[in-house]
Amino acid sequence: MNILIIEDEKPAARRLSRLLSNLGMQASTMLHSVEESIDWFQKNEHPDLIFLDIQLSDGLSFEIFDVLEINSAIIFTTAYDEYALQAFKLNSIDYLLKPIDEDELAQAIKKFELQNSSKSKIALDFEDIKNLLVNPLERDFKKRFTVRVGQHLKIIHAEDVECFFSENKGTYAATS
């Protein structure tokens, strides 16, 4: 999983990185400002998950979303709860207050993994449906039927059957 931390306080960023490490995860990149983040997003593939502080040294992290469209999942990490509503309007998984509790972090990651797995299943199902529409299945129909005529069994070729009908609790084949 590709994880990005955007946090202007380096001790807080290191602590989050250590907590992630305790959970068997590793942040691939750490950024410290709105400007640095915008520059990084324009040049790099977006990560699977972003841990994002709201108040950065050069402004609010929401400014990043004013400039760029980011489809990554976000877990907000902040000392302020006043931005919670605005945060959840974005692609937010959770909102963790500092100092971050390891159990709350584990719960937030579990929440992300659940949402992420259901999204990939939906995407996979959509691909399957699209493939069925574009490349319909080749149906392998029966080529012959074994039918009972009195006490004997007889084989009838499918191309000889005009139709099937039922009468008196029996099913019959009309042949040409």
Q: pLDDT digit string (tens) for 118-127? A: 655 444 455 5
Q: Is 26 helix (H, G, I), strand (E, B) or coil?
A: coil
A 10 A CB-CB count for 61 gives 25
Other Cβ atoms less than 10 A from the Cβ of 7: the count is: 25
pLDDT at residue 122, rounded to an integer: 44
Q: What is the pLDDT of residues 128-163, one digit of tens each?
A: 555 554 565 566 678 888 888 889 988 999 999 999
Domains of the chain as residue ranges with CATH = 3-134 (3.40.50.2300), 144-175 (no CATH)
Distance (Å, rounded) from C-alpha 172 to C-alpha 174? 7
| C-alpha 66, offset from chain centre | 24
Does the pLDDT value for residue 116 go beyond 70?
A: yes
3-class SS of residue 136? coil
Q: Which of 102, 106, 103, 108 is nearest to 87 (CA)?
A: 108
Query: Looking at residue 87, what is its pLDDT?
Result: 57
- Kindly state the tokens that stand for 26: 């590793």
pLDDT of residue 85: 57
Q: Indicate the pTM of the whole model.
A: 0.65
- What percent of the chain has pLDDT above 70? 80
